[in-house]
Structure formats: structure tokens, C-alpha cells
């Protein structure tokens, strides 16, 4: 299991994806893995990683990596996750 520290969450340029900007704390993270989004201590929403991007020009070291989650067919799920306003939080990443 890998761990990713989210510094900021934003809507992707296509407006159908969410980009979790942050940095990798543990383990490798790659496209196809799953982010566990905590709703309550016992309930987590699994979200598939569509892409992993590097922000080379980002001056803030805590926002150099972006995990992109595609919500093309799930606009309601996207709204729920955006509503959580995930920031300054460590998320587990699983295969």
C-alpha cells in the first residue's frame, strides 16, 4: 500500500476529472491503482487513478504530483468528492 498526502483538490481542465495535488509519502503510485477516499472512519469510496502527472514548474514541493481521477460517467460522485474539500490529508493508495 502506498500513501499520498493531498495538499489541494481541484477540477481537471476537462471538467470531468479531479486532480489531487500533493506528494507521495510511501511506495510507488501508478495509473490504474485506487485511491481510498474516507467518508467516515469506517466508509471509504474507491476511486481509480486515471493518470499520474508531474508538475515540474510547481514551486511548492508539496504539490509536485497530481493524481487524476476520471468521473466522465459519474458526475454525482464527482460532486460528492469535491464537496469533501480534501486537503492536507493522507490517503491510502491500493492496487
pLDDT for the residue 33: 97
Question: 7-36, pLDDT tens digit by residue?
Answer: 999 999 999 999 999 999 999 999 999 999
Beta strand 34-38 with 89-94 is antiparallel
CATH classification of the domain holding 46? 2.40.30
Residue located via cell numbers 486532480: 19
The pTM of this model reads 0.90
Number of domains in the chain: 1
pLDDT for the residue 87: 94
pLDDT for the residue 59: 75
pLDDT for the residue 61: 76
In terms of residue numbers, what domain contains 48? 2-94
Amino acid at each position: 500500500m502506498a500513501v499520498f498526502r493531498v495538499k489541494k483538490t481541484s477540477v481537471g481542465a476537462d471538467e470531468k476529472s479531479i486532480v489531487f495535488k500533493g506528494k507521495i509519502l510511501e511506495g510507488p503510485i501508478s495509473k490504474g491503482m485506487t485511491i481510498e477516499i474516507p467518508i467516515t472512519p469506517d466508509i471509504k469510496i474507491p476511486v481509480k487513478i486515471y493518470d499520474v502527472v508531474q508538475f515540474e514548474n510547481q514551486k511548492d514541493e508539496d504539490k509536485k504530483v497530481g493524481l487524476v481521477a476520471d468521473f466522465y460517467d459519474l458526475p454525482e460522485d464527482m460532486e460528492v468528492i469535491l464537496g469533501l474539500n480534501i486537503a492536507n490529508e493522507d490517503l491510502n493508495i491500493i492496487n
